[in-house]
Amino acid sequence: MEYFLTEQQKLIKSIARRIAEERILPVRAELDEKEHFPWELIKDIANADLFRIFIPEQYEGMGEGSFALCIAVEELARACAGVALSYAADALGAFPILLYASEKQKQQYLPAIASGARLTGFGLTESGAGSDAGAIKTNAKRDGDGYILNGTKQFITNGGEAEIYTVIALTDPTKGARGASAFIVEKGTPGFTFGKKEKKMGIRCSATRELVFHNCRVPKENLLGKEGLGFIVTMKTLDSSRPGVGALAIGLAQGALEAAVNYARQRVQFGHPVSAIQAVQHMLANMAMELEAARALVYATAKTIDSGAKNFTEEGAMAKVFATDMAMKVTTDAVQVFGGVGYMRDYPVEKMMRDAKINQIYEGTNQVLRNVIALELLRRKGLRE
Amino acid sequence: MNIVICIKQVPGTTEIKIDPKTNTLVREGVKSIVNPFDAYALEEGVRLKERYGGKVTVITMGPPQAEEALRETISLGADDAILLSDRAFAGSDTWATSYVLSKAAAKIANYDIIICGRQTLDGDTGQVGPELSEMLKIPFISYVSKVEEIKDKHIRVQRMIEEGHEEIETTLPAVITVAKEINVPRLPSLRGSMKAKTAKIAVWTAADIGVETDKAGISGSPTRVVKIFFPKREHKSEMLEGTLEEQVEKLAERLEKIV
């Protein structure tokens, strides 16, 4: 397929691909096994300027948009979804600042994010507030010229490793979701510590940890936007980040498809490679077809965002759901094509299958997002512009 | 710090072929790359710049197409690149090459350190670094595996020896050649790649750097390659027979003869 990449986007793709093939591929199995956060690779990604892609030029970024970010995430995920997530979650953590920070806040935080010197995280989920994000309990009480934060955030990607967090907390618990506000909290702030480090099924090299706030004082300058904007910040942030999850899924599926095709051509049964068996060919053909369809949807969504569209909630949700369901299916089928050895940790496809599952869960479960899509669909009476 | 890196464009590693009729390297259709050993030199230069500030200038002597290799070094962090290219340089051996490089270094003038790879992939001699320092009459350290410190116009390094390493200090300016243990070269950056596309690569000819043409190229090269050939591979195998003890005895006899 021809997607008419600009010179710059082609460059981003080739640079991300070199990092994936030369740096990530040789270590991905070990990172998965040992659950080590890939700091060395994060440095490679930073040195290659890939963190600059999603930051505007005036803050030492390169002002590329959602599409370029998707290309980079896809290429990294082709080698390892865990590494790609650590990168993509940095964009997720940067979005609230990009979308709602004051000029002063942007000047303060974005250059270090652009250079990759400081990673970011986004703190929304709590043990009692997953899909029901409105049920968060973490609160921020006004105290003189600042706020006092108390509560625990759960399952935070890049938790412990990142230095800049956007945290959603209730400034007015009586108002429910409308009483939430977004704060920038830096690692090292007194009263802010890290709790349980999760042991996961997949994406095991990425860090997933609790953020614990105990009488953590944050100056009022760290409030993003104004009080009560917390949920709007959240929704807009997730709208922006979902195509990236879709891109991660297509990169992951691409890696699985390549592995399955190569293996099918080599593996001999009944006197010929299994790729000569029509049942296997049809599996591979379906994998390729569904992957290509998902890629087209993710790219189209990213380009819609780059065109300056104001509302892309529905498109973002569709790209995320379709691509991640596809990745689960394609990676599962890749294991099937490999047969018995596919189940073994000596081959990469079992990891890909484990890595795929989370994509159907985080950043809005695929069920909740179907609700979102249906809501928008009903609102527009099924009509297309 | 004014840092100069010498590089060479060489045929890609896995693709070296020799024309059996002419005994010369087949260069047609072979992808050229920056000599992999030079990548460590460039990386160290860029790291020294990041540590101490300054500027990294890359030079290479070669045909016009070597410009491609120089552009690649800009994508990897070099600030400036100069191509030394002249018909009079063609056919230079290591001595003549070092002479041309020394003249270019003299024109750059206020350099603090010159870094080379320890050898090239094609020529494999490892002579250019030391010869260059001789011609410039400045100190030389080979096989550097770590730059400990640069301070007050002195450099302190670790140099690899057979068993471990030694620490050496010398005055600057100096020439060093680096071992591959010194660093892991970075991959090209986005900003660097964009800069590389549009960067102006200066071309210096013999006249520009005051090279006496009879001292460069074939006429300036004392070395003559008489013949390049594939060594003959001979496989001989012999099965030793008898009991285990007899076989061992025969083997020991054979080995003694060889020694």
User: What is the Cβ-side half-sphere exposure of residue B13, based on CA atoms within 13 angstroms?
Assistant: 4
Residues 115-174 of A with CB under 8 A from B: none
pLDDT of the residue at A385: 75
Q: Phi and psi dihedrals of A335, rounded to 5?
A: -60, -40
Give the DSSP H/E element, type plus range, for residue B96.
Answer: helix B94-108
Burial class (CB in 10 A: 0-12, 13-18, 19+), A131: middle
Question: Domain range for residue B164?
Answer: 2-224
Q: Look-up: residue for tokens 């997002």?
A: A369
Q: Which residue of B has its CA nearest to A72?
A: B190
**Is residue B209, in this structure, part of any structural domain at all?**
yes
Q: Phi and psi dihedrals of B131, rounded to 5?
A: -65, -40
CB B5 within 8 A of CB B41: yes
| Total count of domains within chain B | 1
**Is residue B170, in this structure, part of any structural domain at all?**
yes
Tell how strand B140-151 and strand B113-117 pair up. Answer: unpaired
Chosen for mutation from A10, A41, A47, A51 (greatest number of chain B CBs closer than 10 Å) is A47
pLDDT digits (tens, 9 = 90+) for A360-374: 999 999 999 999 999
What mean pLDDT comes out for the span B106-133? 90
Give the DSSP H/E element, type plus range, for residue B55.
Answer: strand B55-61
* Rounded Cα–Cα distance for residues B116 and B33 (Å): 16
**Is residue B250, in this structure, part of any structural domain at all?**
no
A38 vs chain B: nearest CA distance in angstroms? 16
Contacts of A47 in chain B (CB under 8 A): 186-187, 189
Contacts of B194 in chain A (CB under 8 A): 8, 11
* Binary contact (A23, B189; C-beta < 8 A): no
Across A306-310, A337-341, B10-14, least confident range = B10-14
The amino acid occupying position B121 is L
**Is residue B63, in this structure, part of any structural domain at all?**
yes
pLDDT digits (tens, 9 = 90+) for A195-235: 999 999 999 999 999 999 999 999 999 999 999 999 999 99
Q: Which of A64, A363, A376, A385 is an active site residue?
A: A363
Could you confirm whether A376 is annotated as catalytic?
no
Residues 11-30 of A with CB under 8 A from B: 11-12, 15, 18-19, 22-23
pLDDT of the residue at B14: 63
> Does the bond joining B173 to the residue before it have cis omega, within 30 degrees of 0?
yes
Largest CA distance in chain B: 76
pLDDT digits (tens, 9 = 90+) for A316-350: 999 999 999 999 999 999 999 999 999 999 999 99
ipTM of the complex: 0.86
* Binary contact (A11, B189; C-beta < 8 A): no
DSSP state, A177? Answer: G
* Binary contact (A23, B191; C-beta < 8 A): no
| Confidence check: pLDDT of B232 > 90 | no
- Reduce the DSSP state of residue A151 to 3 states and report it: strand
The amino acid occupying position A372 is V
Contacts of A20 in chain B (CB under 8 A): none
Tell how strand B2-6 and strand B113-117 pair up. Answer: parallel
Contacts of B192 in chain A (CB under 8 A): 49
* Rounded Cα–Cα distance for residues A87 and A318 (Å): 22
- Helices A7-18 and A66-79 cross at an angle (nearest 10°) of 20
| Cβ-proximal residues to A280 (8 Å cutoff; 6+ apart), any chain | A264, A274, A337
- Which domains, from first to last, does chain A contain? 7-119 (1.10.540.10), 121-228 (2.40.110.10), 231-379 (1.20.140.10)
Please name the member of B188, B190, B192 whose beta carbon is closest to the beta carbon of A62.
Answer: B190
CB B86 within 8 A of CB B198: no
Closest CA to A78 of A289, A371, A348: A348
A49 vs chain B: nearest CA distance in angstroms? 5
CATH number of the structural domain spanning residue B172: 3.40.50.620
* Binary contact (A48, B194; C-beta < 8 A): no
Structure tokens at A172: 């007015």
Structure tokens at B77: 């962090």
Mean pLDDT, chain A, integer: 96
What mean pLDDT comes out for the span A241-263? 98
* Binary contact (B186, A44; C-beta < 8 A): yes
What mean pLDDT comes out for the span A118-133? 96
Residues 33-62 of A with CB under 8 A from B: 44, 47-50, 52-53, 62
Structure tokens at B39: 């990548």
Burial class (CB in 10 A: 0-12, 13-18, 19+), B35: buried
pTM, whole model, 2 decimals? 0.87
* Rounded Cα–Cα distance for residues A260 and A252 (Å): 12
- Reduce the DSSP state of residue B105 to 3 states and report it: helix
Is pLDDT larger for residue A352 or for residue B217?
A352
**Is residue B247, in this structure, part of any structural domain at all?**
no
Q: Classify each residue of B235-254 as buried b or exposed e, where b means 16 or more C-beta atoms within 10 Å of its C-beta.
A: eeeeeeeeeeeeeeeeeeee
**Is residue B102, in this structure, part of any structural domain at all?**
yes
* Binary contact (A44, B194; C-beta < 8 A): no
* Rounded Cα–Cα distance for residues B188 and B38 (Å): 15
**Cα–Cα distance list, A32 to A73, A107, A148, A277, B9 (Å):** 18, 36, 38, 33, 38
* Binary contact (B186, A47; C-beta < 8 A): yes
* Rounded Cα–Cα distance for residues B105 and B114 (Å): 9
Measured CB to CB, residues of chain B less than 8 Å from chain A are: 186-194
Q: How confident is the model at residue B137 (pLDDT cuts 50, 70, 90)?
A: very high
Give the DSSP H/E element, type plus range, for residue B154.
Answer: strand B154-160
Give the A:B interface size as CB pairs under 8 Å.
Answer: 35
**Is residue B119, in this structure, part of any structural domain at all?**
yes
**Is residue B66, in this structure, part of any structural domain at all?**
yes
